[in-house]
Amino acid sequence: MEIILAKNHGFCYGVKRAVEMANEAANNDGKSYTLGPIIHNPQVVGRLEDKGVSPVQEVSDIAEGTMIIRSHGVGPAIYEEAEEKGLHVVDATCPHVKKAQQDAKSVINEGMTLVILGEKNHPEVKSINLWANNEGIIIEDEESAQKLQVVEKMGVVVQTTFSQFKFNSIIDILEKKSKNLKVFKTICNATQERQNSAVDLA
């Protein structure tokens, strides 16, 4: 079988950074935990477990030690819970995801209707919405965009790995849904480069 590597492939900046931070935590004293697997790669998760970094589902699963937040990010309540428990927090939320979280928050603070383009059940999308009091309307296709009501002011934030092609066609529809449309194109560079490379290869 011939294997062709795309021009841009492999771990993105945010995932590399999160894995490095987890490795650093493993070298420190005390037990460390990641809130969910740090990456969708069982080999990397397994190697970290061998070094004493275990994935857990909830903050309540951690009695003491270090809690590592993965690149997808979490809502504000998780930081509060960790602080109350006196856990040491290593925040590996990707800076691009942090920006999307803060943009979503600003949309709500400015009294606009928040629309998030992304997958409803994706942890990153959930975390973005949590920073906006869970008030965002999450849509992922043109059909759902057509169904939205016309509103006075609308702000749009996008899952960092969303398709830029789909983004363009959904924004065309949303332009007719509000006279005051503010778009935060929070798709990250790594995603755009990889999507372009995939198109080139195809």
Contact residues toward ligand SF4 (CB under 6 A) are 12-15, 71, 94, 96-97, 160-161, 188, 190-191
Of 80, 124, 135, 142, which one is the catalytic site residue? 124
Query: Which of 96, 126 has the CB closer to ligand SF4?
Result: 96
- Report the residue number whose CB is nearest to ligand SF4: 14
Rounded CA separation 118/105 (Å): 16
User: For residue 53, which phi and psi values (nearest 5 degrees)?
Assistant: -110, 105
Active site residue 124: yes
**What b/e readout covers 168-181, taking b as 16+ CB neighbours within 10 angstroms?**
eebbebbeebbeeb
Q: Smallest distance from the beta carbon of 76 to ligand SF4, in angstroms?
A: 19
Question: Quick one: which of 191, 71, 72, 91 has its CA closest to 129?
Answer: 72
**Lookup: tokens for 48:** 């970290």
Contacts of 136 (CB under 8 A, 6+ apart): 104, 108, 114, 115, 116, 128, 129, 157
Contact 136, 127 (CB under 8 A): no
Query: Which of 21, 154 has the CB closer to ligand SF4?
Result: 21
Query: Which of 112, 125 has the CB closer to ligand SF4?
Result: 125
Q: Smallest distance from the beta carbon of 80 to ligand SF4, in angstroms?
A: 24
Q: Smallest distance from the beta carbon of 170 to ligand SF4, in angstroms?
A: 19
Query: Which of 33, 162 has the CB closer to ligand SF4?
Result: 162
Q: Smallest distance from the beta carbon of 115 to ligand SF4, in angstroms?
A: 19
Residues forming the active site = 124
